Copies of this chain bind each other. A is one copy, B any other.
Amino acid sequence: MSPHPNFMGAPSSTGHFGDFGGRFVPEALMPACLELEAAFIDAWADPVFVDEYRTVLQEFGGRPTPVTYLGRFSKKFGVEVFAKREDLAHTGSHKINNVVGQTLLTRRMGKSRVIAETGAGQHGVATATAAARLGLDCTVYMGELDTQRQALNVFRMELLGSTVVPVTSGSRTLKDAVNEAMREWVACVDDTHYCLGSVMGPHPFPWMVREFQSIIGHEAAQQLTQRGVGVPDMVVACVGGGSNAAGIFAGFANTTTRLVGVEAEGGAAVSHGSPGVLHGMKSMLIQSEHGQIEEAHSISAGLDYPGIGPEHAYLAAAGRAEYVGIGDEDVLVALQTLSELEGIIPALESAHAVAWIMQEAGRSIPRGSTVLLNMSGRGDKDVAQVRDILRGRQ
């Protein structure tokens, strides 16, 4: 038996992780949440479903993704860093793991349509991709500002046969897209599944998305064992909603490995936030003194979220994982450093985790430690933005 409490198991029957989680949705959506919970529990216990989920991720999604030893980076910073390469998964990030699971579940529930929210467009593109493969209708809600900033991703989703709806309310960014997707879900819950993009929202989403992402951590644990590295001293992942972090943490939650989630400084829900209720969940949120939700600010659209998944809020409160913030400047340097030393251009999101390792190597990360870094996505989507920022400075 493990000497540690059993972290990252199922939440309580009402979807709580400690004080966090639960369901805070309009009554109109409660039946859908309950139906989804039942369907997920049933499917996840069904070897046929699990096998299909795994097979699709393998034959379509590109799993297992490799673990790459970052030799030159490790040498330079005096720690042994291994990267779990979600950037090599289909559509360029870990998002595919979740959407493959949810779209298969959608079909299993007899629904023919999915809706999704998206910020930068990664989850939207992933959902459109998985929906195309199964022939599901797909509508993606995206803040109007984001549709302008990420026009190419809008076109990508359209190429994949999806409809993209610009959301004009609020700050016209991700959190408003979530609100709008929830509103729409109320109107079409009969035939439509809401394919949420991270470990957030009402129960069972935080749990279900973590389960669909936990393949990252389980694979990595096995790969490191096979490589003779064993359990790493530390696992580091960036955190927006927290799905890639939850996915990789899940492989190590019940070891003594130090777990570190790296938030964007301008959206650091754990460090700078306080408990609150948003988007169906109780968690840590960035909010004003009056409880109004504030906009997050980050160079990386995927971390531009004022909340965090409730299980992370719990892991922080329970002391099992740490959450730290990294600012935009350090992220830019980290992206350039990793590109030059290792030939891997990380997503701006993932570069937060890289930056934290660069900052802490030899400090809170003792020299020689083994560190597993989740390379949650590839930087191709960010290259134009990074170029414009760097050129703007010359």
Contact = CB atoms under 8 A, between A and B. Distances in A.
Interface of A: 58-62, 65-69, 71-72, 85, 88-90, 92, 128-133, 135, 152, 155-156, 159-161, 335-336, 339-345, 380, 383-384, 386-387
A71 B155 CA distance: 24
B343 A152 contact: no
26 contacts: A59-B66, A59-B68, A60-B68, A61-B66, A62-B62, A62-B65, A62-B66, A62-B85, A85-B90, A88-B88, A88-B89, A90-B344, A92-B380, A129-B343, A130-B343, A131-B343, A132-B341, A132-B343, A152-B387, A155-B386, A159-B335, A159-B386, A160-B340, A160-B343, A161-B339, A161-B340
Contacts of A380: 92, 156, 380
Contact of A159 (B61, B66, B161, B383): B383
Given A129-B344, A160-B340, A160-B343, 18 more contacts: A59-B66, A60-B68, A60-B343, A62-B62, A62-B65, A62-B66, A71-B133, A72-B135, A88-B88, A90-B344, A128-B343, A132-B342, A133-B343, A155-B383, A159-B339, A160-B339, A161-B340, A380-B380
Given A133-B72, A161-B340, A156 B60 contact: no
Contacts of A62: 62, 65-66, 85, 88
The secondary-structure label for the interface of chain A is helix
B66 A156 contact: no
A345 B59 contact: no
B345 A159 contact: yes
